[in-house]
A and B are shown apart, each in its own frame.
Chain A
Amino acid sequence: MELYRSHVLICGGTGCTSSGSVKILEKFEQELEKHDLTKEVKLVKTGCFGLCEAGPIVIVYPEGAFYSQIKVEDVEKITEEHLLKGRIVKELLYKEAVEGDQVKSVNEVGFYKKQQRVALRNCGVINPENIDEYIAMDGYRALGKVLTEMTPEEVIDTIKKSGLRGRGGGGFPTGLKWEFTYRAKGDQKYVACNADEGDPGAFMDRSVLEGDPHAVIEAMAIAGYAVGANQGYVYVRAEYPIAVKRLQIAIEQAKKYGLLGKDIFGTGFDFDLEVRLGAGAFVCGEETALLQSIEGKRGMPRPRPPFPANKGLWDKPTLLNNVETYANIPQIILKGADWFAGIGTEKSKGTKVFALGGKINNTGLLEIPMGTTLREVIFEIGGGIPNGKKFKAVQTGGPSGGCITAEHLDTPIDYDNLIALGSMMGSGGMIVMDEDNCMVDIARFFLDFTVDESCGKCTPCREGTKRMLEILEKITEGKGEPADLEKLENLAYTIKSASLCGLGQTAPNPVLSTLQYFRDEYEAHVYDKKCPAGACQSLLQYFITEACKGCTLCAKACPVGCISGETKKLHSIDQDACIKCGACMEKCPFNAIIKK
């Protein structure tokens, strides 16, 4: 084994891979070779660091120097200056990591300071494709402890006492779920992991699988021991190729070390794990649909009860938890239920991972103790809204959730508070909207999503969401009638109470919550035929302002010839003929054309 004086960590998460981190890794390899540093400096491809906005990210230890938005051309400089001569290249550091002459380590940067990493503790620290690094970080010790020192009842008791609740959205107490499966009668039981993270804008589970796959494997083996199962399945959506690959590598390594398979730690406990791929159906995130899909059927939900704990995969008792929930388990076993229960609020314990996106400066992944306020997340960790725009709302819970407005920004985040505000925790997507986002349009967007993803089994969801979408389309096109708002609400409540599964029951939430907080916007669309945010194309009008120099470019660009005016004189648009294509605005060299 080699000892290195410096480690260069390059993010290999999906965000950074998309922005070119693979090429950067290759360039580092060449540069280190060139300067004969391969024996002194180690390159490590890690999982997501979380601050995707600043990607591709490179961190150099032992200094903890945090380089952001690195380009291939920068690698030479980092190698020559930093790795060879020990001078940190300040101009390439993340903007907040430099303060005057002082260079701050990655952990002191605002984005990371307020975070507490439990589920993500190894993401961006270890090489996820190397089981030894996971073991170095106390990996598989929890499994060892459980198998040699604890009875299944004690394990379940620990999880119950910790107060851990399902991180996939519902927030059901995890320990209870384990107990139900443990108590269920059956010769064969299964453990399954829901990695079908379908909420748009959510990528917590993907980051855990990409950055720390062994944590999930270890937790599933622990769960298997606790409930009495010897076979596990991880159901991953096919849109996550990197996560699938890393998980498969990790399973192979665990098998080779005998941490999966027969007679683990010589205790007689057998446990095996298989990966199953989804094929692009959002509804498969619903637990009964997911189990159907693993069985090789159409992923359609079925009524509960019976719950999977009694009748799951192939009608056998099955424990199903989500990725982030599992990622917490080894830590709880090692550090104890009291440690975990000491973090968070009264009814929501521990930490929660959120994917922060939309109109926010620091898009990325973060993990905070429950009870942190939305304001802290958006303005301190997230760095506020870009371009000096005004915060309008934050959408949580994906297509099942709702919007939270500025007046509620000081609410501590936990399961119950978010539900009280008409939204929900969901799996942890957090999309920030500013004044330019039209809330009616956002509601329409989510309905469009649920209509597309409704499996079609039950009528309220299949037909009802379609009708709601039609009404919303009417409104955004300026054809809304006063009675439409009432119709929307009636439909929403019917769908909520009559749908078969969680997808249908929560589908109207985006509409209900925007109606609650932004009714004035709906009314502006319906009564005044105006979109206050200027987002709904059909309700916009293009105008030429005094800044026009009469260059005639816009008139030439207009496909319907509705712009008139003499050369070097102010032009005007015939609003009746205008098709609102925006071609004129794009062409104007003086920014004299506005839409409102």
Chain B
Amino acid sequence: MKSLEELAKIREEALKKVDLRKERKGTRIVVGMATCGISAGARPVLTALLEEVQKRNLSDVEITQTGCIGVCRLEPIIEVYKEGDDKVTYVEMNAEKAKRVIAEHIVNGRVVSEYTIGAYEK
């Protein structure tokens, strides 16, 4: 290694791999992954979220899975917990919709209201 910059670069890259294990703040996206969620197609949604977060280098976003969220007919469901904001629940997700949620809601802070459970109920 010939310079500190080189070390800093490796560090930055590697940090993404381990910071899941640190105490953290920021946004949490939870994907419903019970039997109902998985059979409704939650897996591609989760993969799309992971890919998107990685592509955009969003280090303060944690993606995790949970059991049945309870509204099985609306699966796949994801919930977004942003620090200081109320929880937002998105329903009937797919990979494309998931990418849009990341782009608009997570990055730009605008809730994609047409996908939310509120919009669906109306």
Residues on A facing B (Cβ under 8 Å): 1-7, 9, 36, 39-40, 42, 61-63, 84-87, 107, 125-126, 132-133, 135-141, 144, 148, 257-259, 263-266
Contacts and interface: CB of A to CB of B under 8 A. Distances in A.
A3 B53 contact: yes
B3 interface: yes
Given A9-B21, A148-B4, A257-B1, A3 B50 contact: yes
Interface stretch (B57-65, B86-94, B97-105): B57-65
A135 B20 contact: no
A62 B18 contact: no
A9 B66 CA distance: 19
Contacts of B1: 257-259, 264-265
Given A62-B62, A85-B34, A132-B17, A258 B2 contact: yes
Interface residues of B, number: 36
Chain B, interface SS category: helix
A85 B17 contact: no
Nearest to B43: A36
- Which 3 pairs show the lowest CB-CB distances between chains A and B? A136-B14, A132-B14, A258-B1
Contact of A136 (B11, B46, B50, B63): B11
Contacts of B67: 85-87
B64 A137 contact: no
B33 A86 contact: yes
Contact of A85 (B13, B33, B54): B33
Contacts of B43: 36
A529 B60 CA distance: 70
A450 B47 CA distance: 60
B2 A263 contact: yes
A5 B4 contact: no
A257 B6 CA distance: 10
Contacts of A9: 21
A140 B8 CA distance: 10
A40 B16 contact: no
22 contacts: A3-B17, A3-B54, A4-B20, A5-B65, A6-B65, A40-B47, A40-B50, A85-B68, A86-B65, A125-B18, A132-B10, A132-B14, A132-B17, A133-B14, A133-B17, A135-B14, A136-B17, A137-B18, A148-B4, A258-B2, A265-B1, A265-B2
Nearest to B15: A136
Contact of A266 (B2, B19, B46, B54): B2
A6 B64 contact: yes
A63 B66 CA distance: 11
